[in-house]
């Protein structure tokens, strides 16, 4: 016979009496657990007996009524409260609600340790515990046998073993490991739970799933993930068993993360080679085919980088939507290469980022030009406070309309200066940039360059000689400044790449 509330009360040595909820005397107790947390139902499973010294019992009658309701709704067998310990007085309203619900409220004598209650329950449920252990062993055997199988097959077999539909989802409710989605309604529940708790889940959260309940169990992976359980039988799978399932699926998630990070590093290297024209067309086509980006029209996006964490989020967004892509962080700009057909959907997902898009292209030798185009479009988006600008759509304020025009303007104003620096290993361009950036303050600019003020004066005279512009004439200063901006935008895409490193 199953060990139930009545069985517990009938053991004389346990000195436990029923205070309320007599209609629940037949509630089966599968496990007894002591918990003093504010929401114990988030740490216990169905048919568990909650044992408490009273710290977890609220003080007001209304809160005590809600306390009983939550425990009952979770399927907890009953609550045993240590007598003469730390519990506030149990209100008549609480006991009346327990009677109405048939939820047993018990009192355990002061001199009876909860360990004795737990041992009695464990002894009575040795057969059930053996079954749980056997089920756990079968879970790990399924995982071992499925080492070379896709996660969908593994989770399907685990679900059949436990009598439940199993899903793995991220904080946005989207499926991981190529699994099926949980459905819109349950997806919203996952998002709400994740947001409410800032990604820190208790042992289990129970949410509505139509006319039934679904269970959300945290998966201990490096990225937020949860096991979503939809029971197909009347009884829920044991929480301890579900935690084992979550643990084995965390291994699968970590494998996927490791594979993905390796591909991301290789993709960053490839994109850097394409932009810098350091790879031939044949090799590039072969490499792009490995990322499912060959034989199609491509586009390059420049996204304002928000730092490593924000860049990682863009990568996860693209990965979760199964969008083939290459990612490269360079000079504070995140470059994303992807199929032109995928751009509209990606743009809709990047609602909080500033984005510049290149013109579509197919020739791999055009990747370098595309980097300049999307960088140019990003500058236009920043200058006009727009979320998205496509190349040629909105030129940066007071700047040439295209990359070609910008190159012509930079060459016309700075050409001789650039040639002089290249021939003599000079530092005139950098000195001019610092001088104008310091609002023509000789002292601040010289300090930034770590040179004497007279050295800077000499350099600026050489700049005037080479460019034919005067640094005390507003119109000439404006031309030099805009030419510098154009030049810097054009060369940004050619600076050394920052390739993600393994952790």
Helix and strand element counts for the chain (H, E): 17, 14
User: Distance between CA 225 and CA 219 in Å, rounded?
Assistant: 5
How far apart, in Å, are the Cα atoms of 500 and each of 33, 259, 345? 46, 14, 25
Q: Is the pLDDT of residue 232 over 60?
A: yes
Architecture of the 403-492 domain: Orthogonal Bundle (1.10)
Q: Which residue has the tokens 């003599």?
A: 424
pLDDT at 224 over 90: no
Please check whether residue 18 is in contact with residue 25, taking contact to mean a CB–CB distance below 8 angstroms: yes
Task: Report pLDDT for 101.
Answer: 95
pLDDT tens-digit readout, 147-161: 666 777 888 888 888
Tokens representing 295 are 């034989």
Measured CA to CA, the distance from residue 245 to residue 243 in angstroms comes to: 5
503, pLDDT greater than 60: no
Q: Identify the band that residue 117 occupies on the pLDDT scale cut at 50, 70 and 90.
A: very high
pLDDT at 218 exceeding the cut of 70: yes
In this predicted structure, the answer to whether residue 438 has a pLDDT above a threshold of 70 is: yes
Enumerate the domain spans of the chain: 5-124, 133-254, 278-390, 403-492
Superfamily the domain 133-254 falls into: GAF domain (3.30.450.40)
Supply the CATH classification number for the domain 5-124.
3.40.1390.20
Kindly state the DSSP code that residue 354 receives in the 8-state scheme. -
CATH code for the domain defined by 278-390? 3.30.70.270
- The predicted structure's pLDDT at residue 396: 59
Q: Which residue has the tokens 């013109």?
A: 359
Question: What percent of the chain shows pLDDT beyond 90?
Answer: 30
Quick one: tokens of 81?
């409260």
Please, which pLDDT band fits residue 107 given cuts at 50, 70 and 90?
very high
pLDDT for 1 beyond 60: no
């Amino acid at each position: 016979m199953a060990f139930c509330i009545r069985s517990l009360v009938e053991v004389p040595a346990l000195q436990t009496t029923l205070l309320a909820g007599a209609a629940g005397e037949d509630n089966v107790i599968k496990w007894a657990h002591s918990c003093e947390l504010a929401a114990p139902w988030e740490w216990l499973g169905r048919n568990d007996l909650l044992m408490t010294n009273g710290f977890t019992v609220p003080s007001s009658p209304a809160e005590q009524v809600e306390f009983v309701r939550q425990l009952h709704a979770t399927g907890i067998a009953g609550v045993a409260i240590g007598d003469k310990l730390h519990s506030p007085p149990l209100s008549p309203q609480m006991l009346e609600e327990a009677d109405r619900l048939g939820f047993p409220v018990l009192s355990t004598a002061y001199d009876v340790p909860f360990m004795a209650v737990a041992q009695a329950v464990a002894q009575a449920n040795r057969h059930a515990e053996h079954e749980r252990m056997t089920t756990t062993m079968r879970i790990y055997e399924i995982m071992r046998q499925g080492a070379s199988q896709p996660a969908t097959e593994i989770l399907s077999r685990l679900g059949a073993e436990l009598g439940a539909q199993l899903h793995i989802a991220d904080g946005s409710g989207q499926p991981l490991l190529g699994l099926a989605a949980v459905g819109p309604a349950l997806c919203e529940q996952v998002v709400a739970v994740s947001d409410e708790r800032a990604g820190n889940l208790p042992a289990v959260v129970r949410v509505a799933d139509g006319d039934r309940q679904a269970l959300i169990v945290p998966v201990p992976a490096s990225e937020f993930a949860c096991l979503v359980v939809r029971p197909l039988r009347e009884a829920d799978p044991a929480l301890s068993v579900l935690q084992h399932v979550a643990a084995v699926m965390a291994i699968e998630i970590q494998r996927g993360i490791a594979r993905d990070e390796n591909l991301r590093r290789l993709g960053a290297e490839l994109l850097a080679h394409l932009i810098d024209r350091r790879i031939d067309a044949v090799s590039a086509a072969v490499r792009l085919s490995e990322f499912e980006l060959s034989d199609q029209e491509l586009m390059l996006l420049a996204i304002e980088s928000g730092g490593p964490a924000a860049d990682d989020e863009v990568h996860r967004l693209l990965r979760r939507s199964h969008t083939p892509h290459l990612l490269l962080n360079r000079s504070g700009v995140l470059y994303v290469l992807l199929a032109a057909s995928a751009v509209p959907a990606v743009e809709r997902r990047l609602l909080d980022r500033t984005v510049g898009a290149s013109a579509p292209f197919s020739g791999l030798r055009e990747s370098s030009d595309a980097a300049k185009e999307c960088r140019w479009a990003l500058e236009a988006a920043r200058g006009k406070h727009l979320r998205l600008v496509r190349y040629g759509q909105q030129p940066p304020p007071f700047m040439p309309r295209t990359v070609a025009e910008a190159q012509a303007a930079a060459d016309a104003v700075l050409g001789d200066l650039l040639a002089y620096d290249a021939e003599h290993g000079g530092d005139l361009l950098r000195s001019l940039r610092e001088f104008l950036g310091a609002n023509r303050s000789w002292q601040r600019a010289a300090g930034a360059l770590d040179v004497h003020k007279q050295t800077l004066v000499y350099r600026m005279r050489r700049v005037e000689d080479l460019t034919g512009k005067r640094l005390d004439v507003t119109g000439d200063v404006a031309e030099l400044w805009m030419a510098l901006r154009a030049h810097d935008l054009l060369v940004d895409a050619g600076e050394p790449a920052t390739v993600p490193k393994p952790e």
